[in-house]
Structure 1
Amino acid sequence: MSNILTETQRVQSQAYKDLLAYVVTNTISGEIMAVNNYTTMVPLIDDVDEKIHVVKQARDEGGHVNALSKLAAHVDFPTMKGMVEPQWKEIGRFVKERAREGDLTACIIAQDIMVETFATVAYTALQRNTDKHTRSLAASIYLEEVAHLQHGVDQIHRMLDNDAEDVHRAFEMAHKAVMPAMMSMVNYNCFSLCDQLKIKCSTVSLGVIEQDLDQLRIDAIDTYMEKIDRIGLDPNRVAPLFSSLVDDDPSKWQPKNKDDISGISCCH
Protein backbone atom coordinates (compact mmCIF):
# COMPACT_ATOMS: atom_id res chain seq x y z
CA MET A 1 0.00 0.00 0.00
CA SER A 2 1.47 3.34 -1.01
CA ASN A 3 1.93 5.65 1.95
CA ILE A 4 0.75 9.20 1.14
CA LEU A 5 0.83 10.54 4.70
CA THR A 6 3.60 12.84 5.90
CA GLU A 7 5.75 11.50 8.72
CA THR A 8 4.05 13.83 11.22
CA GLN A 9 0.59 12.68 10.15
CA ARG A 10 1.67 9.05 10.29
CA VAL A 11 3.14 9.30 13.78
CA GLN A 12 0.03 11.05 15.06
CA SER A 13 -2.39 8.51 13.59
CA GLN A 14 -3.92 5.95 15.92
CA ALA A 15 -3.42 3.17 13.39
CA TYR A 16 0.33 3.83 13.34
CA LYS A 17 0.55 3.90 17.14
CA ASP A 18 -1.45 0.68 17.40
CA LEU A 19 0.87 -0.93 14.88
CA LEU A 20 3.98 0.07 16.82
CA ALA A 21 2.35 -0.98 20.09
CA TYR A 22 1.80 -4.44 18.64
CA VAL A 23 5.17 -4.85 16.91
CA VAL A 24 7.32 -3.28 19.64
CA THR A 25 5.62 -5.14 22.50
CA ASN A 26 6.03 -8.42 20.64
CA THR A 27 9.66 -7.52 20.04
CA ILE A 28 10.16 -6.70 23.72
CA SER A 29 8.75 -10.14 24.52
CA GLY A 30 11.37 -11.71 22.28
CA GLU A 31 14.13 -9.67 23.90
CA ILE A 32 13.02 -10.75 27.39
CA MET A 33 13.01 -14.36 26.25
CA ALA A 34 16.51 -13.86 24.82
CA VAL A 35 17.74 -12.58 28.20
CA ASN A 36 16.29 -15.71 29.81
CA ASN A 37 17.81 -17.96 27.15
CA TYR A 38 21.30 -16.51 27.42
CA THR A 39 21.34 -16.62 31.21
CA THR A 40 20.10 -20.22 31.04
CA MET A 41 23.00 -21.09 28.74
CA VAL A 42 25.76 -19.52 30.86
CA PRO A 43 26.17 -22.40 33.36
CA LEU A 44 26.66 -24.83 30.46
CA ILE A 45 29.71 -22.97 29.14
CA ASP A 46 33.15 -23.99 30.36
CA ASP A 47 35.29 -21.41 28.58
CA VAL A 48 35.45 -18.28 30.74
CA ASP A 49 35.80 -15.84 27.83
CA GLU A 50 32.79 -17.38 26.08
CA LYS A 51 30.83 -17.29 29.31
CA ILE A 52 31.57 -13.57 29.67
CA HIS A 53 30.57 -13.00 26.04
CA VAL A 54 27.18 -14.69 26.52
CA VAL A 55 26.57 -12.60 29.66
CA LYS A 56 27.24 -9.53 27.50
CA GLN A 57 24.71 -10.78 24.94
CA ALA A 58 22.11 -11.08 27.71
CA ARG A 59 22.95 -7.53 28.80
CA ASP A 60 22.57 -6.31 25.20
CA GLU A 61 19.08 -7.83 25.00
CA GLY A 62 18.13 -6.23 28.32
CA GLY A 63 19.28 -2.90 26.96
CA HIS A 64 17.04 -3.40 23.95
CA VAL A 65 14.04 -3.91 26.24
CA ASN A 66 14.70 -0.63 28.03
CA ALA A 67 15.39 1.27 24.80
CA LEU A 68 12.18 0.02 23.18
CA SER A 69 10.20 0.96 26.28
CA LYS A 70 11.64 4.48 26.13
CA LEU A 71 10.74 4.66 22.42
CA ALA A 72 7.13 3.81 23.30
CA ALA A 73 7.01 6.63 25.85
CA HIS A 74 8.56 9.08 23.39
CA VAL A 75 6.31 8.28 20.42
CA ASP A 76 3.35 7.78 22.79
CA PHE A 77 2.03 4.28 22.26
CA PRO A 78 1.26 1.58 24.84
CA THR A 79 3.64 -1.26 25.52
CA MET A 80 4.43 -3.71 28.28
CA LYS A 81 7.41 -5.65 29.63
CA GLY A 82 6.45 -9.29 29.59
CA MET A 83 5.92 -12.31 27.39
CA VAL A 84 2.32 -12.35 26.19
CA GLU A 85 2.19 -14.37 23.00
CA PRO A 86 2.57 -18.12 23.68
CA GLN A 87 5.19 -18.62 20.96
CA TRP A 88 7.83 -16.89 23.07
CA LYS A 89 6.96 -18.99 26.10
CA GLU A 90 7.15 -22.19 24.08
CA ILE A 91 10.55 -21.34 22.59
CA GLY A 92 11.87 -20.33 25.99
CA ARG A 93 10.59 -23.57 27.47
CA PHE A 94 12.45 -25.55 24.79
CA VAL A 95 15.74 -23.82 25.63
CA LYS A 96 15.25 -24.48 29.35
CA GLU A 97 14.47 -28.14 28.69
CA ARG A 98 17.57 -28.60 26.54
CA ALA A 99 19.69 -26.73 29.12
CA ARG A 100 18.52 -29.14 31.81
CA GLU A 101 19.81 -31.93 29.57
CA GLY A 102 23.14 -30.15 29.15
CA ASP A 103 22.46 -29.67 25.43
CA LEU A 104 24.29 -26.39 24.80
CA THR A 105 24.33 -27.03 21.04
CA ALA A 106 20.54 -27.02 20.74
CA CYS A 107 20.33 -23.92 22.96
CA ILE A 108 22.76 -21.98 20.75
CA ILE A 109 20.98 -23.06 17.57
CA ALA A 110 17.58 -22.07 18.96
CA GLN A 111 18.63 -18.68 20.31
CA ASP A 112 21.65 -17.50 18.33
CA ILE A 113 20.60 -18.87 14.94
CA MET A 114 16.82 -19.13 14.80
CA VAL A 115 15.61 -16.37 17.12
CA GLU A 116 18.35 -13.96 16.08
CA THR A 117 17.54 -14.54 12.40
CA PHE A 118 14.03 -13.25 13.02
CA ALA A 119 15.37 -10.40 15.15
CA THR A 120 17.47 -9.11 12.25
CA VAL A 121 14.47 -9.30 9.90
CA ALA A 122 12.19 -7.57 12.42
CA TYR A 123 14.59 -4.69 13.03
CA THR A 124 15.13 -4.31 9.29
CA ALA A 125 11.36 -4.00 8.86
CA LEU A 126 11.18 -1.35 11.59
CA GLN A 127 13.57 0.82 9.59
CA ARG A 128 11.25 0.99 6.58
CA ASN A 129 8.95 3.99 6.41
CA THR A 130 8.67 4.44 10.19
CA ASP A 131 9.31 7.64 12.13
CA LYS A 132 12.87 8.88 12.61
CA HIS A 133 13.09 7.79 16.28
CA THR A 134 11.97 4.24 15.48
CA ARG A 135 14.28 4.03 12.47
CA SER A 136 17.30 5.20 14.44
CA LEU A 137 16.75 2.81 17.34
CA ALA A 138 15.96 -0.13 15.04
CA ALA A 139 19.16 0.48 13.07
CA SER A 140 21.24 0.53 16.25
CA ILE A 141 19.70 -2.65 17.69
CA TYR A 142 19.94 -4.37 14.30
CA LEU A 143 23.74 -4.14 14.37
CA GLU A 144 23.91 -5.87 17.75
CA GLU A 145 21.50 -8.61 16.66
CA VAL A 146 23.59 -9.23 13.53
CA ALA A 147 26.64 -9.64 15.77
CA HIS A 148 24.74 -12.13 17.97
CA LEU A 149 23.67 -14.09 14.91
CA GLN A 150 27.18 -14.18 13.49
CA HIS A 151 28.57 -15.32 16.82
CA GLY A 152 26.10 -18.20 16.81
CA VAL A 153 27.04 -19.14 13.25
CA ASP A 154 30.72 -19.20 14.20
CA GLN A 155 30.03 -21.26 17.33
CA ILE A 156 27.98 -23.91 15.56
CA HIS A 157 30.48 -24.06 12.70
CA ARG A 158 33.21 -24.92 15.20
CA MET A 159 30.97 -27.47 16.91
CA LEU A 160 30.26 -29.05 13.53
CA ASP A 161 33.96 -29.67 13.05
CA ASN A 162 34.14 -31.42 16.42
CA ASP A 163 30.96 -33.51 16.28
CA ALA A 164 28.89 -33.26 13.10
CA GLU A 165 26.36 -35.86 14.18
CA ASP A 166 25.57 -34.05 17.42
CA VAL A 167 25.09 -30.74 15.61
CA HIS A 168 22.72 -32.28 13.06
CA ARG A 169 20.76 -33.94 15.87
CA ALA A 170 20.48 -30.67 17.78
CA PHE A 171 19.57 -28.72 14.65
CA GLU A 172 16.72 -31.04 13.71
CA MET A 173 15.35 -30.94 17.25
CA ALA A 174 15.57 -27.16 17.53
CA HIS A 175 14.17 -26.58 14.06
CA LYS A 176 11.05 -28.63 14.73
CA ALA A 177 10.47 -26.99 18.12
CA VAL A 178 11.31 -23.37 17.32
CA MET A 179 10.78 -22.51 13.67
CA PRO A 180 7.01 -23.18 13.42
CA ALA A 181 6.48 -20.91 16.42
CA MET A 182 8.71 -18.19 14.96
CA MET A 183 7.03 -18.37 11.55
CA SER A 184 3.56 -18.20 13.10
CA MET A 185 4.35 -14.75 14.50
CA VAL A 186 4.85 -13.39 10.97
CA ASN A 187 1.09 -13.43 10.52
CA TYR A 188 -1.95 -11.17 10.81
CA ASN A 189 -3.01 -12.97 13.97
CA CYS A 190 -2.30 -12.75 17.66
CA PHE A 191 -3.48 -14.85 20.56
CA SER A 192 -4.06 -12.13 23.14
CA LEU A 193 -1.58 -9.31 22.66
CA CYS A 194 -4.09 -6.81 21.26
CA ASP A 195 -6.40 -7.51 24.18
CA GLN A 196 -3.60 -7.00 26.70
CA LEU A 197 -2.56 -3.74 25.06
CA LYS A 198 -6.17 -2.51 24.71
CA ILE A 199 -5.71 -1.74 21.02
CA LYS A 200 -7.95 -2.50 18.06
CA CYS A 201 -6.76 -5.54 16.15
CA SER A 202 -8.35 -4.26 12.96
CA THR A 203 -5.90 -1.32 12.90
CA VAL A 204 -2.80 -3.49 13.20
CA SER A 205 -1.87 -3.84 9.56
CA LEU A 206 1.71 -3.89 8.36
CA GLY A 207 0.53 -2.01 5.28
CA VAL A 208 0.84 1.16 7.35
CA ILE A 209 4.62 0.86 7.11
CA GLU A 210 4.54 -0.68 3.65
CA GLN A 211 5.31 -4.18 4.78
CA ASP A 212 4.00 -7.36 3.25
CA LEU A 213 3.89 -10.44 5.45
CA ASP A 214 4.67 -12.82 2.62
CA GLN A 215 7.82 -10.84 1.87
CA LEU A 216 8.78 -10.80 5.56
CA ARG A 217 8.44 -14.59 5.68
CA ILE A 218 10.54 -14.92 2.54
CA ASP A 219 13.20 -12.61 4.02
CA ALA A 220 13.26 -14.63 7.24
CA ILE A 221 13.53 -17.99 5.46
CA ASP A 222 16.18 -16.70 3.06
CA THR A 223 18.29 -15.33 5.93
CA TYR A 224 17.86 -18.54 7.88
CA MET A 225 18.84 -20.75 4.95
CA GLU A 226 21.84 -18.56 4.16
CA LYS A 227 23.14 -18.88 7.73
CA ILE A 228 22.62 -22.65 7.77
CA ASP A 229 24.49 -22.92 4.48
CA ARG A 230 27.35 -20.84 5.91
CA ILE A 231 27.58 -23.15 8.92
CA GLY A 232 28.05 -26.09 6.56
CA LEU A 233 25.27 -28.47 7.59
CA ASP A 234 24.59 -31.42 5.28
CA PRO A 235 22.13 -30.15 2.60
CA ASN A 236 20.57 -33.61 2.29
CA ARG A 237 19.66 -33.59 5.97
CA VAL A 238 18.36 -30.03 6.22
CA ALA A 239 16.50 -29.79 2.90
CA PRO A 240 13.42 -31.74 4.09
CA LEU A 241 13.18 -29.47 7.13
CA PHE A 242 13.27 -26.37 4.94
CA SER A 243 10.62 -27.83 2.63
CA SER A 244 8.21 -28.44 5.47
CA LEU A 245 8.82 -24.93 6.77
CA VAL A 246 7.92 -23.34 3.44
CA ASP A 247 4.83 -25.54 3.02
CA ASP A 248 3.43 -24.99 6.53
CA ASP A 249 0.59 -22.52 7.05
CA PRO A 250 1.75 -20.27 9.92
CA SER A 251 -1.82 -19.29 10.78
CA LYS A 252 -2.53 -22.89 11.86
CA TRP A 253 0.09 -22.91 14.62
CA GLN A 254 -1.35 -23.59 18.07
CA PRO A 255 0.45 -23.52 21.43
CA LYS A 256 1.07 -26.86 23.06
CA ASN A 257 0.23 -25.42 26.45
CA LYS A 258 -3.10 -23.57 26.44
CA ASP A 259 -2.21 -22.03 29.81
CA ASP A 260 0.28 -19.86 27.90
CA ILE A 261 -2.63 -17.85 26.47
CA SER A 262 -3.81 -14.91 28.55
CA GLY A 263 -6.60 -12.55 27.59
CA ILE A 264 -9.00 -12.75 24.69
CA SER A 265 -7.83 -14.31 21.44
CA CYS A 266 -7.88 -11.86 18.57
CA CYS A 267 -7.12 -11.70 14.88
CA HIS A 268 -7.22 -9.08 12.16
Structure 2
Amino acid sequence: MESAPGIQIERDLSQIYGDLLSQAITGELVGMLNYASLATLAPDIGGQTAAVRHAAAELRHAENFRQVAKECGLETIVNPGALRWGQVRAAFLRYATEGNLIACLLIQEVMLESMAVALYSELGKLPDKRIAKVFAVTAKEEAHHVDAGLDHLSIAASRDPEGFADLVEAVHDEVMFAIAEMLAGEEGEDAHCGLCAGNCVKQSLPEVGLERSKLRGRALRHYLESLDSLGIPGERSLAWVSRLPL
Protein backbone atom coordinates (compact mmCIF):
# COMPACT_ATOMS: atom_id res chain seq x y z
CA MET A 1 0.00 0.00 0.00
CA GLU A 2 1.47 3.34 -1.03
CA SER A 3 1.66 6.18 1.44
CA ALA A 4 3.58 9.43 1.55
CA PRO A 5 6.89 9.66 -0.38
CA GLY A 6 9.53 7.48 1.20
CA ILE A 7 6.99 5.57 3.29
CA GLN A 8 5.91 2.05 2.47
CA ILE A 9 3.61 0.02 4.68
CA GLU A 10 3.31 -3.67 3.96
CA ARG A 11 -0.21 -4.61 2.98
CA ASP A 12 -0.52 -7.28 5.68
CA LEU A 13 0.46 -4.74 8.36
CA SER A 14 -1.80 -1.94 7.22
CA GLN A 15 -4.81 -3.16 9.20
CA ILE A 16 -2.73 -3.38 12.39
CA TYR A 17 -1.52 0.18 12.02
CA GLY A 18 -5.02 1.32 11.08
CA ASP A 19 -6.51 -0.32 14.18
CA LEU A 20 -3.89 1.24 16.46
CA LEU A 21 -4.53 4.67 14.99
CA SER A 22 -8.29 4.14 15.29
CA GLN A 23 -7.87 3.63 19.03
CA ALA A 24 -5.60 6.66 19.32
CA ILE A 25 -7.85 9.00 17.36
CA THR A 26 -10.93 7.90 19.28
CA GLY A 27 -9.17 8.20 22.63
CA GLU A 28 -7.98 11.72 21.84
CA LEU A 29 -11.50 12.75 20.84
CA VAL A 30 -12.87 11.36 24.10
CA GLY A 31 -10.21 13.41 25.88
CA MET A 32 -11.30 16.48 23.93
CA LEU A 33 -14.91 15.95 24.98
CA ASN A 34 -13.89 15.37 28.60
CA TYR A 35 -11.82 18.55 28.78
CA ALA A 36 -14.66 20.49 27.18
CA SER A 37 -16.91 19.21 29.98
CA LEU A 38 -14.30 20.18 32.56
CA ALA A 39 -14.54 23.77 31.35
CA THR A 40 -18.08 23.88 32.72
CA LEU A 41 -16.93 22.57 36.13
CA ALA A 42 -13.87 24.74 36.67
CA PRO A 43 -14.52 27.28 39.46
CA ASP A 44 -12.73 30.22 37.83
CA ILE A 45 -11.71 31.62 34.47
CA GLY A 46 -8.18 30.28 34.86
CA GLY A 47 -9.42 26.71 35.18
CA GLN A 48 -11.93 27.16 32.40
CA THR A 49 -9.27 28.53 30.07
CA ALA A 50 -6.91 25.66 30.89
CA ALA A 51 -9.62 23.10 30.19
CA VAL A 52 -10.42 24.66 26.80
CA ARG A 53 -6.71 24.77 25.96
CA HIS A 54 -6.34 21.08 26.85
CA ALA A 55 -9.41 20.22 24.76
CA ALA A 56 -7.83 21.98 21.78
CA ALA A 57 -4.60 20.03 22.34
CA GLU A 58 -6.48 16.71 22.36
CA LEU A 59 -8.19 17.66 19.09
CA ARG A 60 -4.82 18.54 17.58
CA HIS A 61 -3.47 15.14 18.63
CA ALA A 62 -6.44 13.42 17.00
CA GLU A 63 -5.88 15.39 13.80
CA ASN A 64 -2.19 14.49 13.81
CA PHE A 65 -3.09 10.81 14.02
CA ARG A 66 -5.69 11.26 11.28
CA GLN A 67 -3.12 12.97 9.07
CA VAL A 68 -0.50 10.25 9.39
CA ALA A 69 -3.16 7.63 8.68
CA LYS A 70 -4.15 9.52 5.55
CA GLU A 71 -0.56 9.94 4.40
CA CYS A 72 0.05 6.23 4.86
CA GLY A 73 -3.18 5.23 3.12
CA LEU A 74 -4.62 3.58 6.22
CA GLU A 75 -8.29 3.00 6.95
CA THR A 76 -9.45 4.07 10.41
CA ILE A 77 -12.64 3.77 12.44
CA VAL A 78 -13.50 6.69 14.70
CA ASN A 79 -16.23 6.25 17.30
CA PRO A 80 -16.12 7.83 20.80
CA GLY A 81 -19.21 5.78 21.61
CA ALA A 82 -17.45 2.45 20.95
CA LEU A 83 -17.77 -0.15 23.71
CA ARG A 84 -14.92 0.65 26.14
CA TRP A 85 -14.51 4.32 25.24
CA GLY A 86 -18.24 4.77 25.56
CA GLN A 87 -18.16 3.29 29.06
CA VAL A 88 -15.38 5.66 30.11
CA ARG A 89 -17.14 8.67 28.64
CA ALA A 90 -20.46 7.73 30.28
CA ALA A 91 -18.80 7.47 33.70
CA PHE A 92 -17.09 10.82 33.20
CA LEU A 93 -20.37 12.49 32.23
CA ARG A 94 -22.13 11.09 35.28
CA TYR A 95 -19.50 12.55 37.62
CA ALA A 96 -19.61 15.82 35.66
CA THR A 97 -23.39 15.97 36.08
CA GLU A 98 -22.89 15.51 39.81
CA GLY A 99 -20.42 18.40 39.78
CA ASN A 100 -17.60 16.14 41.02
CA LEU A 101 -14.57 17.93 39.59
CA ILE A 102 -12.05 15.77 41.45
CA ALA A 103 -13.51 12.53 40.08
CA CYS A 104 -13.46 13.98 36.56
CA LEU A 105 -9.83 15.03 36.94
CA LEU A 106 -8.95 11.56 38.20
CA ILE A 107 -10.52 9.96 35.13
CA GLN A 108 -9.03 12.28 32.54
CA GLU A 109 -5.69 13.37 33.95
CA VAL A 110 -4.63 10.32 35.96
CA MET A 111 -6.32 7.29 34.46
CA LEU A 112 -6.61 8.18 30.78
CA GLU A 113 -3.60 10.45 30.41
CA SER A 114 -1.26 8.22 32.44
CA MET A 115 -2.21 5.24 30.31
CA ALA A 116 -1.81 7.30 27.14
CA VAL A 117 1.71 8.41 28.09
CA ALA A 118 2.82 4.84 28.77
CA LEU A 119 1.18 3.31 25.70
CA TYR A 120 2.18 6.04 23.27
CA SER A 121 5.77 5.76 24.50
CA GLU A 122 5.77 2.07 23.54
CA LEU A 123 4.01 2.74 20.22
CA GLY A 124 6.72 5.30 19.57
CA LYS A 125 8.95 2.29 18.84
CA LEU A 126 6.80 0.94 15.99
CA PRO A 127 8.71 -0.20 12.87
CA ASP A 128 7.10 2.47 10.71
CA LYS A 129 9.09 5.54 11.73
CA ARG A 130 6.53 8.11 10.59
CA ILE A 131 3.74 6.61 12.68
CA ALA A 132 6.14 5.95 15.57
CA LYS A 133 7.20 9.62 15.60
CA VAL A 134 3.61 10.87 15.97
CA PHE A 135 3.05 8.54 18.93
CA ALA A 136 6.36 9.51 20.57
CA VAL A 137 5.74 13.25 20.21
CA THR A 138 2.18 12.90 21.52
CA ALA A 139 3.42 10.92 24.54
CA LYS A 140 5.66 13.82 25.57
CA GLU A 141 2.85 16.35 25.21
CA GLU A 142 0.41 14.18 27.18
CA ALA A 143 2.96 13.94 29.99
CA HIS A 144 2.49 17.66 30.59
CA HIS A 145 -1.26 17.09 31.08
CA VAL A 146 -0.51 14.43 33.69
CA ASP A 147 1.87 16.71 35.58
CA ALA A 148 -0.66 19.55 35.63
CA GLY A 149 -3.44 17.24 36.80
CA LEU A 150 -1.33 15.73 39.57
CA ASP A 151 -0.43 19.18 40.89
CA HIS A 152 -4.12 20.07 41.20
CA LEU A 153 -5.14 16.73 42.67
CA SER A 154 -2.31 16.77 45.20
CA ILE A 155 -4.00 19.71 46.89
CA ALA A 156 -7.26 17.78 47.24
CA ALA A 157 -5.39 14.70 48.47
CA SER A 158 -3.59 16.67 51.18
CA ARG A 159 -6.84 18.06 52.56
CA ASP A 160 -8.42 14.67 53.23
CA PRO A 161 -6.08 11.76 52.43
CA GLU A 162 -8.48 9.00 53.51
CA GLY A 163 -11.53 10.47 51.80
CA PHE A 164 -9.48 11.14 48.66
CA ALA A 165 -8.23 7.55 48.56
CA ASP A 166 -11.80 6.27 48.95
CA LEU A 167 -12.90 8.38 46.00
CA VAL A 168 -10.00 7.16 43.87
CA GLU A 169 -10.94 3.57 44.67
CA ALA A 170 -14.57 4.11 43.69
CA VAL A 171 -13.61 5.74 40.39
CA HIS A 172 -10.94 3.12 39.78
CA ASP A 173 -13.32 0.19 40.14
CA GLU A 174 -15.63 1.70 37.56
CA VAL A 175 -13.39 3.38 35.02
CA MET A 176 -10.09 1.51 35.18
CA PHE A 177 -11.90 -1.77 34.60
CA ALA A 178 -13.09 -0.50 31.22
CA ILE A 179 -9.64 0.88 30.38
CA ALA A 180 -7.92 -2.35 31.44
CA GLU A 181 -10.26 -4.36 29.24
CA MET A 182 -8.67 -2.61 26.26
CA LEU A 183 -5.37 -4.26 27.21
CA ALA A 184 -6.73 -7.55 28.53
CA GLY A 185 -6.89 -10.83 26.62
CA GLU A 186 -8.69 -10.97 23.31
CA GLU A 187 -12.25 -9.67 23.39
CA GLY A 188 -15.05 -12.19 23.03
CA GLU A 189 -17.40 -12.02 20.08
CA ASP A 190 -19.96 -10.21 22.21
CA ALA A 191 -17.44 -7.63 23.41
CA HIS A 192 -15.75 -6.40 20.23
CA CYS A 193 -14.24 -2.97 20.86
CA GLY A 194 -15.91 -1.59 17.75
CA LEU A 195 -12.71 0.03 16.47
CA CYS A 196 -10.82 -2.91 14.98
CA ALA A 197 -11.57 -3.41 11.29
CA GLY A 198 -11.45 -7.19 11.62
CA ASN A 199 -10.37 -9.47 14.45
CA CYS A 200 -9.07 -7.95 17.68
CA VAL A 201 -5.76 -6.22 16.92
CA LYS A 202 -4.26 -7.45 20.19
CA GLN A 203 -3.57 -10.87 18.73
CA SER A 204 -1.54 -9.28 15.91
CA LEU A 205 0.64 -6.95 17.99
CA PRO A 206 3.77 -9.19 17.78
CA GLU A 207 3.78 -8.59 14.01
CA VAL A 208 4.76 -4.96 14.67
CA GLY A 209 7.11 -5.75 17.57
CA LEU A 210 4.66 -5.22 20.42
CA GLU A 211 3.55 -7.44 23.30
CA ARG A 212 0.14 -7.02 24.88
CA SER A 213 1.40 -8.05 28.31
CA LYS A 214 4.26 -5.55 28.13
CA LEU A 215 1.92 -2.76 27.09
CA ARG A 216 -0.42 -3.62 29.95
CA GLY A 217 2.44 -3.80 32.44
CA ARG A 218 3.94 -0.47 31.45
CA ALA A 219 0.56 1.28 31.46
CA LEU A 220 -0.39 0.00 34.90
CA ARG A 221 3.06 0.79 36.29
CA HIS A 222 2.73 4.39 35.12
CA TYR A 223 -0.74 4.54 36.66
CA LEU A 224 0.54 3.21 39.99
CA GLU A 225 3.36 5.75 39.96
CA SER A 226 0.79 8.51 39.49
CA LEU A 227 -1.25 7.21 42.44
CA ASP A 228 1.90 6.99 44.54
CA SER A 229 2.69 10.63 43.80
CA LEU A 230 -0.77 11.50 45.15
CA GLY A 231 0.00 9.75 48.41
CA ILE A 232 -2.18 6.68 47.85
CA PRO A 233 -0.76 3.86 50.03
CA GLY A 234 0.86 1.19 47.90
CA GLU A 235 -0.98 -1.62 49.65
CA ARG A 236 -4.27 -0.07 48.59
CA SER A 237 -3.39 0.76 44.99
CA LEU A 238 -1.81 -2.65 44.37
CA ALA A 239 -4.98 -4.32 45.68
CA TRP A 240 -7.07 -2.22 43.28
CA VAL A 241 -4.90 -3.12 40.28
CA SER A 242 -4.98 -6.81 41.21
CA ARG A 243 -8.75 -6.76 40.59
CA LEU A 244 -8.37 -5.61 36.99
CA PRO A 245 -8.85 -8.06 34.11
CA LEU A 246 -5.77 -9.79 32.76
Does the Cα contact within 8 Å between 1:32 and 1:61 map onto a contact in 2? yes
Structure 1 residues 205-231: Cα deviation after superposition (integer angstroms, max 9, x where no partner):
111221111111110111111111111
Distance in 1, matches of 2:200 and 2:172, equals: 30
Structure 1 residues 164-198: Cα deviation after superposition (integer angstroms, max 9, x where no partner):
3442232012101111111111144343333xx3x
CA RMSD of aligned residues (A): 2.2
Question: What code does the residue aligned with 2:194 have?
Answer: S
Distance in 2, matches of 1:202 and 1:89, equals: 19
Alignment of 1:90 with 2:92, yes or no, is no
Distance in 1, matches of 2:199 and 2:105, equals: 36
What count of residue pairs does the alignment treat as equivalent?
237
TM-score, with structure 2 as normaliser: 0.88
Which structure's relative contact order is higher, taking Cα pairs within 8 Å and 6+ residues apart?
1
Does the Cα contact within 8 Å between 1:112 and 1:149 map onto a contact in 2? yes
Cα–Cα, structure 1 residues 206 and 228, in superposed 2: closer, same or farther, change >3 Å?
same
Gapped runs of 5+ residues in structure 1?
Answer: 1-7, 250-268
Alignment of 1:126 with 2:128, yes or no, is no
Report the CA distance between 1:162 and its aligned residue.
2.3
Structure 1 residues 105-161: Cα deviation after superposition (integer angstroms, max 9, x where no partner):
111001100011111122112211331211221122111111111111111111112
Does the Cα contact within 8 Å between 1:41 and 1:104 map onto a contact in 2? yes
- Which of 191, 203, 217 aligns to 2:193? It is 191
For 1:216, the equivalent position in structure 2 comes to: 215
Give the secondary structure class of the aligned counterpart of 1:31. Answer: helix
Alignment of 1:225 with 2:224, yes or no, is yes
For 1:49, the equivalent position in structure 2 comes to: 46
Distance in 1, matches of 2:31 and 2:163, equals: 23
Does the Cα contact within 8 Å between 2:106 and 2:168 map onto a contact in 1? yes
Report the CA distance between 1:66 and its aligned residue.
0.9
Distance in 1, matches of 2:20 and 2:213, equals: 16
For 1:39, the equivalent position in structure 2 comes to: 36
For 2:23, the equivalent position in structure 1 comes to: 26
Does the Cα contact within 8 Å between 1:127 and 1:138 map onto a contact in 2? yes
Cα–Cα, structure 1 residues 106 and 180, in superposed 2: closer, same or farther, change >3 Å?
same
Identity %: 24
Distance in 2, matches of 1:70 and 1:21, equals: 12
- Which of 52, 65, 73 aligns to 2:62? It is 65
Gapped runs of 5+ residues in structure 2?
Answer: none
Deviates more, 1:30-39 or 1:231-240: 231-240
For 2:242, the equivalent position in structure 1 comes to: 243
Give the secondary structure class of the aligned counterpart of 2:228. Answer: helix
Distance in 2, matches of 1:152 and 1:203, equals: 30
Report the CA distance between 1:97 and its aligned residue.
0.3
Question: What code does the residue aligned with 1:101 have?
Answer: E
Alignment of 1:173 with 2:175, yes or no, is no
Does the Cα contact within 8 Å between 2:39 and 2:51 map onto a contact in 1? yes
Does the Cα contact within 8 Å between 1:26 and 1:85 map onto a contact in 2? no
For 1:263, the equivalent position in structure 2 comes to: none
For 1:76, the equivalent position in structure 2 comes to: 73
